[in-house]
Amino acid sequence: MNLTSFISTKTMAENNKIFVYDKLRVFFKHTDYYGAVHPYNFLEWTSYVREAFFSEMCGDFRKILESPIKMMTAKIELCTLGNSSFGDDIEGRFTTAQIKKVSFDVVVRFYNRQKNMVVCETRHTLVFIDSATQRFAAIPDNIKDAIVFYKDAELEAS
C-alpha cells in the first residue's frame, strides 16, 4: 500500500482523519551549510500547521483567543528522519493523541513530496490555563469537538 492510499483510508475512518497543511516549501533561508533543511524550521512549521488546523477546523478560533483560556505548549519532541533541500514541497500532517480533560498531544508528520517520505515528526503537548485564576482549564469545546476526529491511528494501535 502506498502512502497516498494509506492516507485516503485513514481519512475515511471517522475518528482517524488527518489534517494536511500543504503550503510549506523549502527556500534558501530554511537551508543550512550543507543544503539541508535546518531542523529548527520543522518546529516553526509545527506552529503553522497547528494554528492552521485551529483556524480552519475549530469554529471561531479568534473568539477562543479573546477568552481568558490560554493555550500553552508544555513539552515538545522532534525526530529527524530524512533530509529536505531547496525547492522541496512539504506537507504537514496533523493528528492528535492523549486527549485528556485539560491537555492533548499534537503530532505533525512532515511529508516531503519530492522524496516521497516523512522527513520529520514532531509531537507536542498543549495544556489549557485559565489566565484569570492561573489554574488548568478544560479544553475549549470548539477545539475538543474538532480534535477527536483526528486521533492518530498509528499511536492508538501501538
Site of interaction with another protein (CB under 8 A): 33-34, 38-40, 43-44, 46-47, 70, 72-80, 124
- What is the sign, positive or negative, of the torsion defined by CA atoms of 102, 146, 62, 60? negative
Query: Could you tell me the three cell numbers for 138?
Result: 478544560
Residue closer to another protein, measured from CB, 5 or 158: 158
Cβ at position 38, least distance to another protein in Å: 7
Query: Could you tell me the three cell numbers for 23?
Result: 503550503
Cβ at position 154, least distance to another protein in Å: 18
Return the closest-CA partner of residue 60 out of 150, 151, 148, 146.
146
Whether 15 and 151 have beta carbons less than 8 Å apart is answered as: yes
Residue closer to another protein, measured from CB, 36 or 99: 36
Cβ at position 56, least distance to another protein in Å: 19
Q: What is the CA radius of gyration of the chain?
A: 16
Residue closer to another protein, measured from CB, 51 or 141: 51
Whether 85 and 61 have beta carbons less than 8 Å apart is answered as: no
Cβ at position 93, least distance to another protein in Å: 18
Residue closer to another protein, measured from CB, 126 or 146: 126
For residues 58 and 146, what is the distance between their CA atoms, to the nearest angstrom? 6
